[in-house]
Amino acid sequence: MIISRKEDGEQLSDIVRDFKKYTSTTILKAVKENKHESRRNWMLWIFESVGSKNENNKKYQFWRQDSHPEQLISNKFMDQKVDYIHNNPVAARIVDEPENYVYSSAKDYANQQGLLDIEMIL
């Protein structure tokens, strides 16, 4: 994920914390409520197994506890990070081309309409 903040805005660590909290809560709720999802019990078991190994958790762990933020100090470095993010689904053999991954902004960078509105990094 590439994010920025306003000069006088919240700290990036606070933004990442709130993002992780919101997305994990929302996704876990969706998994629990979808009784027709064939992988439901398996996913909950994974989240609970990982969560039980971390005393900071009440029950489930969705995101890793650590993060490794890097300041994007040059256009070349930023391009490397965008390419890395876009190519993760290809490396994981989920898709053949980055723009074929429905949740990626790679489609937008390939002059197509992606799933979400994004702010392009140029």
With residues binned 3-state (H G I as helix, E B as strand, rest as coil), the percentages for the chain, rounded to 5, are 50, 0, 50
Query: Rounded CA gap, 66 and 75, in Å?
Result: 26
Q: What is the pLDDT of residues 2-46, one digit of tens each?
A: 887 777 777 888 888 899 999 999 999 999 999 898 999 999 999
Name, in order, each residue with C-beta under 8 angstroms of 105's C-beta and a sequence gap of 6 or more. Answer: 85, 86, 114, 116, 118
Structure tokens at 117: 């509105």
Name, in order, each residue with C-beta under 8 angstroms of 11's C-beta and a sequence gap of 6 or more. Answer: 5
Q: What is the pLDDT of residues 83-122, one digit of tens each?
A: 999 999 999 999 999 999 998 999 999 999 988 888 877 6
pLDDT at 108: 92
pLDDT at 117: 85
Indicate the SS3 state at residue 19. Answer: helix
Q: What is the pLDDT of residues 41-76, one digit of tens each?
A: 999 999 999 888 888 777 899 998 877 778 888 889
The pTM score is: 0.71
Contact yes or no for 114/107 (Cβ under 8 A): yes
